């Protein structure tokens, strides 16, 4: 039960991506093999990047694992940065204004789409 165990979990995702797939398939079953306290378990189970950062988990690992679990696409780095900034995306990469606004819009659309898919899934499972 420590930041070290979380780092081990994340590092093993990068070292063997089949572990990341096993985690995505059944997170609770996967995490059962590790000693995590309740809050540590929540952080990893929900991939709460900011909480892990504040807990002392290496940012190198958070950044490595995020695309493994969420797909390595053009928006990935911005989505990561937004989560590291409590939902607010700063223009740290100094993009032109129009490009930055497009990225924010794309992220909002994607998140709305993912949210809608989750709602559909939830309704199906309740039925």
Partner 1 sequence: MANLVGAFCTAHVPLIASRPGVADKKQVDHVMEAFGKIRARMVDLKIDTAIVVGDDHYTMFGPHCLPSMLIGIGDVDGPHEEWLGHERAPIANNPALAEHIMEYGFDHGFDWAVAKALSIDHSTFVPYLKIIKELDDVKMIPVYLAAGVAPLIRPKRCVQLGEMIASAVADYPGDERVAIIGTGGLSHWVGAADMGKVNEEFDHEMIDMIRRRDIDAMLALTDEYVLETAGNGAYEYRNWLVAMAAVKDYDMELLCYEPISPWVTGTTLVEFKFAA
Which has the closest alpha carbon to 83: 119, 43, 124, 113?
Answer: 43
By CB atoms closer than 10 A (0-12, 13-18, 19+), residue 31 is middle
Closest distance of CB 45 from partner 1, Å: 19
Contacting partner 1 within 18-57 (CB under 8 A): 50, 53
**Residue nearer to partner 1 on the CB measure, 1 or 117:** 1
- Residue 72 in contact with partner 1, rule: CB under 8 A: yes
Residue 71 φ/ψ region, left for φ over 0, alpha for ψ in the -120 to 50 degree band, beta for the rest? left
- Residue 64 in contact with partner 1, rule: CB under 8 A: yes
- Residue 62 in contact with partner 1, rule: CB under 8 A: yes
Closest distance of CB 95 from partner 1, Å: 8
C-alpha distances out from residue 65 to 7, 11, 59, 119, Å: 11, 8, 10, 26
Q: What is the DSSP letter of 12?
A: H
- Residue 60 in contact with partner 1, rule: CB under 8 A: yes
- Residue 99 in contact with partner 1, rule: CB under 8 A: no
- Site of interaction with partner 1 (CB under 8 A): 4, 7-8, 11-12, 14-15, 50, 53, 58-64, 67, 72, 80-81, 84-85, 90, 92-95
């Amino acid at each position: 039960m420590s930041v070290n165990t979380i780092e081990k979990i994340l590092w093993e995702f990068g070292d063997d991506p089949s572990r990341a797939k096993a985690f995505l398939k059944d997170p609770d079953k996967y995490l059962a093999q590790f000693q995590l306290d309740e809050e540590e378990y929540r952080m990893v189970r929900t991939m709460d990047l900011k909480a892990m950062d504040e807990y002392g988990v290496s940012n190198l690992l958070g950044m490595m694992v995020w695309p493994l679990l969420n797909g390595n696409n053009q928006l990935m780095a911005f989505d990561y940065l937004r989560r590291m900034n409590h939902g607010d995306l700063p223009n740290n990469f100094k993009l032109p204004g129009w490009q930055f606004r497009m990225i924010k819009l794309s992220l909002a659309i994607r998140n709305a789409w993912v949210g809608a898919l989750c709602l559909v899934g939830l309704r199906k499972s309740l039925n």
